[in-house]
C-alpha cells in the first residue's frame, strides 16, 4: 500500500503543555482518514505540522514523500488545506473568490476557467456564482471554501473540522463531496468530533490529550471492543488509557 501521509513520534510542546504527544500514523493513498477527538485534544496542532505550517518539537513526517520539516513549500503546493476558520472574502462573489484563489495558486487563465466550472458544479454552486460569499449560508460557504482549496488539483486534502457548526443536511452534502473526491483518488485527512462522520471514513484514529489512543477501520475497532458504535469504542479507549495511567502512577 502506498502511503500519502506518514508521521513518526510527532510531538509538539507549547511550554509545559504537550499538545501532541508522540503520534505515529500512516495514511494510505486515496483513503479517507478521520482524525477524531474532543476539543483541545491536539488535532489542529497535528494537522498544522503535517501541512508544514508549524515545526514539530520532535519526531518526523512526510506528505507525498516530502519531509514536513524541510519541504514545507512543496507540501503547500500539493495539498489543499481548509482550516477551521477558512477565509473567504465575504464582500466578493462566489466567482470572485474562486478567481482570487486561482490567482494565489498561479493557475493560468484558461485552466482557472475550466477548474472553476468543474468545482462550481461539484459543489452544487451553479446559479450562485454572482452571490456575495458573505450572504451564503454556512453550508454553502463551506462548500465554496472547499472548492477554493481544490482549484490547483491537490493530491491530498486536509480538512480541519470542516463541518463544525454546520447543519445536518449541509454536513451530509459536504460528506457526499468528500466521498466523490476520494473516488477520484484524492487522499483526505479530516478531523471531526462527529461520530456519524467518522463512521463513513476508511480509517480513523482517536486522539485524546495529545495521545493517539488507537486506530483502524471503523469496523475493526467496533469488532475489537464488541460494540456497535464508535462512541462506545472511544469510551473504551479513554477508560483503558485512564486505568493504564493509574496503574503506571
Ligand X SMILES: Nc1ncnc2c1ncn2[C@@H]1O[C@H](COP(=O)(O)OP(=O)(O)OP(=O)(O)O)[C@@H](O)[C@H]1O
Nearest residue (CB) to ligand X, 102 versus 145? 145
Nearest-approach distance from CB 128 to ligand X, in angstroms: 29
Strand ordering across the sheet containing 203-208: 79-82, 156-160, 187-192, 32-36, 203-208, 211-216
Nearest-approach distance from CB 242 to ligand X, in angstroms: 18
Nearest residue (CB) to ligand X, 40 versus 168? 40
Nearest residue (CB) to ligand X, 182 versus 192? 192
Cell 463544525 sits at which residue? 164
Beta bridge partners of 61: 7
The grid coordinates of residue 112 equal 482557472
Nearest residue (CB) to ligand X, 40 versus 134? 40
Nearest-approach distance from CB 57 to ligand X, in angstroms: 12
Nearest residue (CB) to ligand X, 23 versus 94? 23
Nearest-approach distance from CB 107 to ligand X, in angstroms: 30
Nearest residue (CB) to ligand X, 105 versus 209? 209
Question: Burial code of 50-83, b = ≥16 C-beta within 10 A, e = fewer?
Answer: bbbebebeebebbbbebebeebbeebbebbbbbb
Cα–chain center distance at 238 = 23
Nearest residue (CB) to ligand X, 31 versus 46? 46
Q: Are 93 and 136 in contact (CB under 8 A)?
A: no
First to last CA, the chain: 39
Q: Are 88 and 145 in contact (CB under 8 A)?
A: yes
Nearest-approach distance from CB 15 to ligand X, in angstroms: 7
Nearest-approach distance from CB 223 to ligand X, in angstroms: 27
Nearest-approach distance from CB 61 to ligand X, in angstroms: 15
How many residues belong to the chain? Answer: 249
**What dihedral angle (degrees, nearest 10) is formed by the CA atoms of 68, 70, 71, 73?**
100
Binding site for ligand X (CB under 6 A): 14, 17, 19, 37, 39-45, 161
Amino acid at each position: 500500500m502506498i502511503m500519502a501521509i506518514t508521521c513518526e513520534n510527532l510531538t509538539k510542546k507549547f511550554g509545559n503543555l504537550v499538545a501532541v504527544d508522540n503520534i505515529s500514523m500512516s495514511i494510505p493513498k486515496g483513503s479517507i482518514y478521520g482524525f477524531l477527538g474532543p476539543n483541545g485534544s491536539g488535532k489542529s496542532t497535528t494537522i498544522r505540522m503535517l501541512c508544514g505550517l508549524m515545526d514539530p518539537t520532535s519526531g518526523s513526517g512526510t506528505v507525498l514523500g516530502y519531509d514536513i520539516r524541510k519541504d514545507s513549500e512543496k507540501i503547500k503546493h500539493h495539498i489543499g488545506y481548509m482550516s477551521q476558520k477558512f477565509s473567504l472574502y465575504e464582500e466578493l462573489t462566489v466567482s470572485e473568490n474562486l478567481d482570487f484563489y486561482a490567482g494565489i495558486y498561479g493557475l493560468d487563465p484558461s485552466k482557472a476557467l475550466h477548474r472553476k466550472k468543474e468545482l462550481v458544479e461539484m459543489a452544487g454552486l451553479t446559479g450562485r456564482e454572482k452571490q456575495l460569499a458573505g450572504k451564503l449560508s454556512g453550508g454553502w460557504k463551506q462548500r465554496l471554501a472547499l472548492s477554493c482549496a481544490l482549484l490547483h488539483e491537490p493530491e491530498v486534502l486536509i480538512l480541519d473540522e470542516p463541518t463544525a457548526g454546520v447543519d445536518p443536511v449541509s454536513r451530509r452534502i459536504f460528506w457526499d463531496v468528500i466521498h466523490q473526491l476520494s473516488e477520484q483518488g484524492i487522499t483526505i485527512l479530516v478531523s471531526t468530533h462527529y461520530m456519524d462522520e467518522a463512521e463513513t471514513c476508511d480509517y480513523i484514529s482517536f486522539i485524546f490529550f495529545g495521545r493517539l489512543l488507537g486506530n483502524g477501520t471503523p469496523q475493526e475497532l467496533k469488532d475489537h471492543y464488541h460494540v456497535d458504535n464508535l462512541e462506545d469504542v472511544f469510551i473504551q479507549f479513554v477508560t483503558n488509557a485512564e486505568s493504564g495511567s493509574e496503574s503506571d502512577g
